[in-house]
Each structure stands twice: as C-alpha cells, then as structure tokens.
Amino acid sequence: MTGKFGALLARRTAWGRSDAISRILAAANAPGVLSMAGGIPAPDSFPVARLAAAAEQVLSRSATAALQYAPAEGITAMREAVAVRAGETGAAVSPERVIVTSGSQQGLDLLARTLIEEGDQVALDDPSYLGAVQVFRRAGARLLPLPTDRDGMRVDVLEHRLAVGARPKLVYVVPHFHNPTGGVLSEERRRLLAGLAERYGFLVVEDDPYGDLAFCGGRLPSTDVHSDRVIRLMSLSKTLCPGLRVAGLTAPDGLIGELVATKQSSDLQTNTFGQYVLAELFADPSFLPAHLARLRVLYGDKARATAGLLRERLPWLTFDEPRGGLFFWCTVDDPLVTSEPLYERALAEGVAIVPGAPFCIGEDGSRLLRLSFATLDEEQRREGVARLATAFEKARADVH
Ligand SMILES: Cc1ncc(COP(=O)(O)O)c(C=O)c1O
C-alpha cells in the first residue's frame, strides 16, 4: 500500500483493482475521440419524448411520493412491472421476489457482499464482463474461469470441474449476447446448468442486459424455468437508458430479506423519481414492445453496416457477426500486431476500442479486441473504421 493514506486503506481495496473501466470511459469521453469502446447506447435510442411525458405526469399527479424516500426494495409499481417482465421471459415471479436496484452493477455488488466470503469460489466465462470480475474479486472470491463459445459457457467443463471437487457458491452467466463474446447460452446448457445447481447447491446469477436486443428471432427462456436457484439481473440500461440507474433483480424467497438488508446499508434505496417515471412508462402495455422493436432494427442495421465496413477496410480482423447486443468480439489476424499496441495507436488516431486482455481471466487476450457498433452514427462509423485502418498500419510499421 502506497501513498499518504496507504496505511489506512482496508486490505480489500487492493483486490480486483482495475483501471480498465475508467480507462474505457475516459477514452470514450475525450474530446475528438470517436468511441467504439464502451457499451454506450446510441443517443437516438432513448425514448426522450415518452420519458418527458411520463416525468410530467408523475410530477403533476404524484410529486410528493415521487420526490420522497421510498422502501429499500423498491416502489410497488416498479416491483410489479419487473415481476411481469420476468414472467414473460422466465418463470412466474411475485413482486415480493423483486428488488429494484441502482443498475445491475449494484445487483452484482449486493450479491457479492451478501454471499461471498474471502476464498469462496465464483465460476464464470473466460472472458467475462469486467464489472462482474471486479466485484467478485473485490469481495475476495477465487475465480473459476470456464471456457466459453458461441453457445455460451461450456457447462460440460463446469460439470467436470464439479465432479473433481470444485464447489462454487455462484455461477455467473450473461445468457444473451455475452459481453464481450456475443455468445448465447443454449437451451441445452441452461437445462444442464440448472440441474448442476440443484445437485451441487450453488446459485446461478443470470445477468441479462442484452436479451431484448436480438436482431432476429427472440430470446431464450431464463434458466429459472428449470430451477429456483437462479438470481436474475434485469438491467434497463441498454434498452431504456443507463442514466436513471433503475434495474430489476429477482431472487428466491429465502434470499430477498438479506439482499434488501445489504441494499439498505448501501444506499437506502434506488432513485424514487426514476422508479416512478419508469413505472409510468410500463403502465402503457404497448410502449415496451414497440420501443424494443425499434431498437432491434436500429442496432441490427448498425451491426450489419459495421460488419460490411470492417470486412472492407480491416481484412486483418476476424469476427462472428453479432446476433444481438452491442459488440463485435474480434481477433487480430496478423502475426505482427497485438491488440494493446493497436489500442494505443488507435487512441492516438482518435478512435477508442477495447483490447481483449482486461476481459480475460486465464485466457490469452493479446490478439482479441471488442468493438461497439452502438454509439456512432454512420458518418462517424466510417471515419472511426478509417482511423482504425491507419492505426493498424502504424502499429505494424512500429514493429519493423
Ligand atoms: C453484462 C453486463 N452487466 C451489467 C452491466 C451494467 O448494467 P447497469 O447499467 O444496469 O448497472 C453491463 C454494462 O455494460 C453489462 O454489460
């Protein structure tokens, strides 16, 4: 521990320390930089007019309640709305089994703080979402990284690891359009995972911000149709907006009270006004289906256009075309260039990408990188890809 206050810091502040997320966000916000880095929703994806109308309604009809403290578990209307959504995409859930959290990131933190003791095992895909890796590491977890492919986590490998003695408390999955790999956990693997949870007593954490963003076809039912040992994190950040910090969490009966107690000690409650506004939007049953249909077209078109551009301008990059979500997960297919120097060169040219290594736990991420197609408009995207092409040539020249 270094610095003036080093001796005062709790030991856990050294665990899971990563500047990768702040580096990505800082790069995305730097003046003049075109960002293909963060999972930042497209500016025209936000339902601004509907949010304005809902805010107006809330302030004219329920201002006092909407500006007041509210229960730690969330306001009734929002818990009911989350329960309805959960039931549409998985097992039926009563509103009593819902907590409204300040984003799914807080859901992850509540789970880690409620369930993980130093040395407990958490199994997860390798690579995995950086924010989850950081939370679990900071809670003192030992990570059990598992291989992952187009059909999501290799649950057969988990089964083998369990058979030879691994005992994770939590198994963390991103079931649709995984961040960063884009994988979708297949129905067969969901069934197997639920069976293993029953047999070995662990909990499955399904973190699903991207399930509503399938470009063709629908989403698969949650693992909770096969087992009640499933906790669902239902972010609204990629489908409505991240700024309100309102998300849903569903958990089995026996865990809700403990999670609410942790939530209370963390921030008392989630933003009341945001909950009222979103509950007002959800009260119109036609709103969400129409809004999500628009987003699927918006992002599907962006993904196809970006794939075309990447193939045309960056032949040294290989990738599977995304089936949903916000990202391309790519391999740099050139013996001379790896993703970290490319990232540095790209930033110098004015385009931000994310090198693969920070997502990887044991895997070699040195040739991998993540590109978001979500944020930029068509002209910016063309320019961003052109800058990336220049950055690649310069990174290659650096090696000679
Ligand atoms: C897999 C995953 N989980 C959680 C989050 C954070 O979601 P929220 O904004 O609801 O906290 C993200 C954001 O990128 C994500 O990709």
pLDDT value at position 312?
95
156 CA to centre of ligand 1 in angstroms: 26
296 CA to centre of ligand 1 in angstroms: 18
CATH 3.40.50.1980 is the classification of domain 58-284: no
Q: Tell me which amino acid residue 306 is.
A: T
String of DSSP letters for 129-191: -HHHHHHHHHTTPEEEEE-EETTEE-HHHHHHHHHTT---SEEEE--SS-TTT-----HHHHH
Query: Which pLDDT band, with edges at 50, 70 and 90, does 18 fall under?
Result: confident
Average pLDDT over residues 222-231: 98
109 CA to centre of ligand 1 in angstroms: 12
Phi, psi of 256 (to 5 degrees): -60, -45
Pocket test for ligand 1, best of 176, 206, 237, 359 (most atoms within 8 A of CB): 237
Whether the predicted pLDDT of 150 surpasses 80: yes
Q: Provide CATH 3.40.640.10 ranges for the chain.
A: 58-284
Pocket test for ligand 1, best of 109, 129, 329 (most atoms within 8 A of CB): 129
pLDDT tens-digit map of 82-107: 999 999 999 999 999 999 999 999 99
Q: For residues 198 and 139, what is the distance between their CA atoms, to the nearest angstrom? A: 24
Cβ-based neighbour number of residue 14 at 10 Å: 11
332 CA to centre of ligand 1 in angstroms: 26
The ligand 1 site (C-beta within 6 Å) comprises 39, 103-105, 129, 131, 174, 179, 207, 209, 235, 237, 242, 247
63 CA to centre of ligand 1 in angstroms: 30
pLDDT tens-digit map of 314-350: 999 999 999 999 999 999 999 999 999 999 999 999 9
Query: Which pLDDT band, with edges at 50, 70 and 90, does 241 fall under?
Result: very high
- Kindly give the number of the ligand 1 atom that is closest to the alpha carbon of 238: 9
pLDDT tens-digit map of 347-398: 999 999 999 999 999 999 999 999 999 999 999 999 999 999 999 999 998 8
Residues facing 352 on adjacent strands? 35
Give, using CA atoms, the residue closest to atom 16 of ligand 1. Answer: 179
Q: Provide CATH 3.90.1150.10 ranges for the chain.
A: 17-41+289-399
Contact, 391 vs 382, CB < 8 A? no
CATH of domain 17-41+289-399: 3.90.1150.10
